[in-house]
Chain A
Amino acid sequence: MNPATVVHGRLRAGVRREPLLPVLVILLLALAASFQEFATVANFRNIAVQASPLIIAAVGMTYVIMTAGIDLSVGSMLFLAAAIESSQAIVGLPTALVFAAVCAAGALMGLLNGVAVAFTQVPALIVTLATMQVFRGAGGHITGQQNINLPANLLGIGTGSLLGVPTPVLLAVAVALAGGFVFSRTTFGRYVQAVGSSPDAAANAGLPVRSVLVGAYALAGLLAAVASLTQTARLGAVQPSIGQGYELTVITAVVLGGTTLFGGRGSIGGTVLGALVLTTVQTGLVFSGASPYIFDIVRGSVLLAAVLAAGARWRNLAHAVRLTGRRRPSRDGPYNSATSA
Chain B
Amino acid sequence: MFEHLHHDGEPTARQPAVIAVGNVSKSFGGISAVDGVSFTVSGGEVVALVGENGAGKSTIKNIIGGTLRPDSGHVSFGGAPAVEGVGSAKHSGVATVHQETSLFPDLTVAENILIDRLRSPGRATVRAGHLRRAATPVLQRVGAGFGPEAIVRDLSAGQRQLVEIAKALAADPHAIVFDEPTASLNLVERELIMGIVEQLRADGVAVLYISHYLEEIARLSQRVVVLRDGRVVADRPTGEVDRARLESLMVGRELAQGYPPLAPPRDAKALSVLDLGDGGRVSGVSFDIAEGEIFGLAGLMGSGRTEVARAIFGLAGDIGRVEVSGRQLRRGSVRACIDAEMAFVTEDRRHEGLFLDRPIRESLSIVDLDSVCRSRRIGWLDGGSEHRLTHELASKVHLVARGGLGADGGSLSGGNQQKVAIGKWLVKRPRLIILDEPTRGIDVGAKAEIYRLLVDLARSGTSILLISSEMEEVLGLSHRVGVMHDGRLAGILDRSQATQESVIRLATGGAP
Contacts and interface: CB of A to CB of B under 8 A. Distances in A.
Interface stretch (B129-137, B251-259, B353-361, B456-464): B353-361
A119 to B, nearest CB: 16
B53 interface: yes
A210 to B, nearest CB: 12
Contacts of B440: 339
Contacts, number: 132
A206 B338 contact: yes
Nearest to B67: A325
Contacts of B338: 206
Interface in B452-495: none
B352 A320 contact: no
Interface string A307-341: 00000000000111111110001011011111111
B414 A339 contact: yes
B28 A339 contact: no
A202 B338 CA distance: 13
B362 A193 contact: yes
Contacts of A185: 380-381, 383
A341 B99 contact: yes
Given A323-B59, A339-B350, A187 B356 contact: no
A187 B373 contact: yes
Nearest to A201: B352
A337 B58 contact: no
B65 to A, nearest CB: 11
B351 A198 contact: yes
Nearest to B33: A323
A208 interface: yes
B358 A194 contact: yes
Contact of B369 (A190, A264, A319): A190
A265 B357 contact: yes
Given A185-B380, A206-B337, A206-B367, A340 B414 contact: yes
Contact of A338 (B58, B99, B315, B373): B99
Contacts of B369: 187, 190-191
Which of A194, A197, A206, A318 is packed against the most chain B CB atoms within 10 Å? A206
A336 B103 CA distance: 10
Is chain B's binding surface mostly helix, strand, loop or mixed?
Answer: mixed
Interface string B411-431: 101100100000010000000
B381 A198 contact: no
Contacts of A325: 67
Interface string A180-200: 000001111011011001101
A329 B105 contact: no
A203 interface: yes
A186 B58 contact: no
Nearest to A209: B334
Nearest to B349: A339
B355 A201 contact: yes
B56 to A, nearest CB: 8
B29 interface: yes
A334 B350 CA distance: 10
Given A187-B370, A190-B381, A205-B367, A340 B53 contact: yes
Interface in B158-200: 179-180, 183-184
A36 interface: no
Contacts of A265: 357-358
B228 interface: no
Considering the complex of A and B, which 5 residue pairs feature the smallest CB-CB distances, nearest first? A339-B441, A187-B379, A320-B29, A338-B100, A340-B414
6 contacts: A194-B358, A201-B351, A205-B367, A323-B54, A339-B183, A339-B349
